[in-house]
Amino acid sequence: MKISTKGRYALRMLIDLAQHSSDGYVALKDIAERQGISTKYLEQIVPLLNKADLLRTNRGYQGGYSLSKAPSQYTVGEILRVTEGSLSPVSCLQYEVNDCPRKNECVTLYVWEGLYKAITDYLDGISLQEIIDKAAAGNDFCI
């Protein structure tokens, strides 16, 4: 499994919004400038985040974006599922029900299930607030 720039940039965008939440609605161009990301690329990510109700939008003068909930209520796993789709390491685990015709005789299925559990437990255990707190303490996560 490899996380695309879309997933990494969405996470950086939401962290930026959390860090600047006292500024009210934040313009996309300001996020792009601070994060060194193209505004055009962020414009492609915003609809995904909006559709998942992760953002609030305000149009017009002094418009921009803000988080729709507290940073402690966002997990890295949630954000990556919105941008990347499934976090499954193999296709047979992408959906709730494994309908692979080989699932009953697949001797490696437990390996992939264990990996998937480790990935989801880890990513769902990290909130935006935790990332912000660690960064403030000088223990940056590298995304």
142 domain-assigned: no
Residue 76 pLDDT > 90, yes or no? yes
| Domain CATH number, residue 92 | 1.10.10.10
pLDDT above 90 covers a percentage of the chain that reads 67
143 domain-assigned: no
94 domain-assigned: yes
The total number of structural domains that make up the chain: 1
Residue 124 pLDDT > 60, yes or no? yes
20 domain-assigned: yes
| pLDDT at position 84 | 94
62 domain-assigned: yes
- Under the banding of pLDDT at 50, 70 and 90, the label for residue 143 is low
19 domain-assigned: yes
Q: Two tokens at 130?
A: 């935790």
86 domain-assigned: yes
89 domain-assigned: yes
Domain coverage including residue 54: 5-136
**Predicted structure pTM score:** 0.87
| CA distance to 45, 97, 137, per residue, from 103 (Å) | 35, 11, 46
| pLDDT at position 95 | 78
- Under the banding of pLDDT at 50, 70 and 90, the label for residue 105 is confident
Q: Two tokens at 26?
A: 């934040």
Residue 137 pLDDT > 90, yes or no? no
Q: Pick the residue with more confidence: 1 or 76?
A: 76
Residue 120 pLDDT > 80, yes or no? yes
